[in-house]
Amino acid sequence: MTHAVVTGDSLTGALDRLVDRVRGAEFAVVLSPDGLPLGSSRQVEAKLAEQLSGVVAGLLALGSAATRTCDAGGLRQIVVQMSRAFLFVATIGNGTILTVRIAGDEVEVGDMAYEVALFVGQAERHLPVSLEPASSAMSGDTGAHRRLG
């Protein structure tokens, strides 16, 4: 289990801007490496974030198995195409996971793929430098975390 100190307004704002930039984008969620919701865009309720956590965990397990089987390096992104929507799941260097959903008749899948890659590349501005074990956070040792502005 991990614990992170993130200013919700900064991460929410970054995710809102990501969703606002692409036509058809509905929501974005960032999950910790162990699947706990760290932040989301304004359209996401807690129940949806929890459901996505389970779905993303399963997708990441399958994606990781595929990378091992294909000897193709680390997992970077999974795109699920449904009949009326796409779900993008991207891993971020510090272990966190970005999930974005787009839907509609005029969605720009290429634009979303670009924005997801851009967000992942700049994610350290919006996410904690490190994630510490929950046990040290509960003992009162907050560690060194970068505050977001």
- 96-149: per-residue pLDDT in tens? 899 999 998 888 889 999 999 999 988 866 666 444 444 333 333 333 333 333
- Contact in structure between 22 and 112 (CB atoms under 8 Å): yes
**What would you report as the CA-atom Rg of the chain, rounded to the nearest whole angstrom?**
15
Q: Whole-angstrom Cα distance, residue 6 to residue 123?
A: 12
What is the architecture of the domain spanning 2-106? 2-Layer Sandwich (3.30)
Q: Per-residue confidence at 43, pLDDT binned at 50, 70, 90? A: confident
> What spatial distance separates the first Cα and last Cα of the chain, rounded to whole Å?
26
Q: Which residues of 125-134 are buried (b: 16+ CB within 10 A; e: fewer)?
A: ebbbeebbee
For residue 56, the SS3 value is helix
Q: Where are the domains of the chain?
A: 2-106
126 to 58, 72, 114, 122: CA distances (angstroms): 25, 29, 18, 8
DSSP class of residue 117 equals H
- 45-96: per-residue pLDDT in tens? 989 999 999 999 999 999 999 999 999 888 899 999 999 999 999 998 888 8
